[in-house]
Amino acid sequence: MKLDKDQIDQLKKLISYKGYPQVDVQYEILDHVACKVEVLMEENPQLSLPDAFRKVHASFGVFGFAELEGSYVKMISKRMTRYYWEELRNLFTSLRIIFPISILAILFQTSSWFQNSKSWILMLIGFVLVSFLVIAIRYWSKHKRYKHYASYMASNNVYAVINFGIITCSQSWNFVYRNNSTPDGIFPLIFKGVILLCLCMLFVSIFILPRVLERSMADTEALIQVYGE
C-alpha cells in the first residue's frame, strides 16, 4: 500500500514527537521509515499507523532514529566545512584578495600615524569586532525563516566563530597590546604568537563567512521549496 498525504503528515508528527523537530531531519528519517510502515500495514491491514510506526521505531534499537539524525547532521557539518575551505581558496585565488591586503596595509600604516609599533593590533581588534557585529545583525533577521531546518542550524557554527572571535580579541588586548602586564619568557611569546595567528585567521574569515552563510541558506531554501514548508 502507498501512504497518502494525511498519513505522511501523521508520520512527520510522530517523528517530531520523538524529538526531531527539524523539517529536513524529519524527511530524512521519513525516507527510511515510510517504506517499512507501508510493508507492516500491508501485511496486517488491522494495524494502525501509530502502532506500525512504533514497531518500526523499535526496530532501530535503543537509540531509535538518533543514528539517522547523526548521520545527516554529520553530512551537513562536513558540507559546511567544505564550503569554508572552498571560499577560502576562492578568496586567495581571486582579485577579492586585494580587499583584505589593502585593509591590512592601512592598519599597518596606523603604526606610523600613531607612532606606536603595536597600534595596528588595536585597529585590527576593532575591525574584527565591528565586522562580526555587522555579520551577526545582517543575518540574524533570517534566522526565524530557517531555524526549523538542520541544514541552516549547522551554520550556527559561524556564530560560534564570532563568539570565539570576541574572546580572541579580548585576549589579544590583554596579552599582546598591553605588553607591560605580560611576563617575559618563551611561553608568553608563543602564546602571543598563537593569539595573533588566530586574530589574523578571524580577519580573513570576515571576507568569507557571509558567502558560507549564503550557501547554507541557499541549500535550506532549496529544501523549503521541495518540502513546501
- pLDDT tens per residue across span 172-193: 766 665 555 555 567 767 777 7
Residues 97 and 171 in one domain: yes
Residue 222 falls within a domain, yes or no?
Answer: yes
Regarding whether 159 and 214 lie in a shared domain, the answer is yes
Residue 30 lies in a domain: yes
Q: Is the pTM of this model over 0.85?
A: no
Per-state percent for the chain, helix, strand, coil, to nearest 5 = 80, 0, 20
Residue type at 159 in one-letter notation: Y
Q: Do 96 and 141 fall within a single domain? A: yes
- The string of pLDDT tens digits covering residues 89-130 is 999 999 999 998 898 888 888 777 777 767 777 788 888 888
Q: How far apart are CA 83 and CA 151, in angstroms?
A: 13
Q: Per-residue pLDDT tens for 19-61?
A: 888 888 888 888 888 888 888 888 888 888 888 888 888 888 8
Domain that holds residue 132: 77-227
Q: Is residue 46 part of a domain?
A: yes
Q: Look at residue 69 and tell me if it is in a domain.
A: no
Whether 59 and 136 map to the same domain: the answer is no
